[in-house]
Amino acid sequence: MELNVVGKPGSTKVVRNVIKIDEKKCNGCGKCVSPCAEGAIRIINGKAKVVSEELCDGMGFCIGVCPTGALTVEKRETVPFNEEKAMSQPKITDSTIACYKCKKGEYDAYLLPMRHQGESVWVCTRCLPALIHG
């Protein structure tokens, strides 16, 4: 991950990738909460919010599951990513997450978010090759 320290030596600000949420597009469905292993996103007053930018690693794993296109990654000045704090966040599981083809859940398969025929879906690594190669 590229980090550019800005400001005076010892500054706590860096320029890096972080998630940006377009509240006008967000419908509050909550699909982006559990994919964020760092616990950076919560639904507050019906909208997705980044509760703390130090928890967002900017990898954008949440983007693929958003049905409305409300999530993007932007590079800007913010606080550094705090890996220790992110790893200590409680893991949020979602029993509705499952491969759209074989229906295996996150405890039975490795799942990836993807777009398919206009829908945001999960696919497991066993079903993905069949989708790619037909």
Which residues sit at the interface with ligand SF4, rule CB under 6 A? 21, 26-32, 48, 65-66, 68, 70-71
Residue 42: CB atoms within 10 Å: 16
Please give the angle made by the CA atoms of 1, 116 and 23, to the nearest 5 degrees. Answer: 60
Taking the least distance from each CB to ligand SF4, the nearer of 49 and 101 is 49
Residue 71: CB minimum distance to ligand SF4, A: 5
Please state the separation of Cα 87 from the chain's center in Å.
Answer: 14
* Residue 37: C-alpha distances to residues 4, 43, 47, 77 (Å): 24, 15, 19, 22
Residue 89: CB minimum distance to ligand SF4, A: 17
Taking the least distance from each CB to ligand SF4, the nearer of 42 and 104 is 42
Residue 84: CB minimum distance to ligand SF4, A: 25
Torsion of CA 59, 80, 25, 116, to 10 degrees: 0
Q: Are 41 and 33 in contact (CB under 8 A)?
A: yes
Taking the least distance from each CB to ligand SF4, the nearer of 14 and 63 is 63
Per the DSSP assignment, residues forming a β-bridge with 47 are 44
Taking the least distance from each CB to ligand SF4, the nearer of 26 and 109 is 26
Residue 38: CB minimum distance to ligand SF4, A: 15
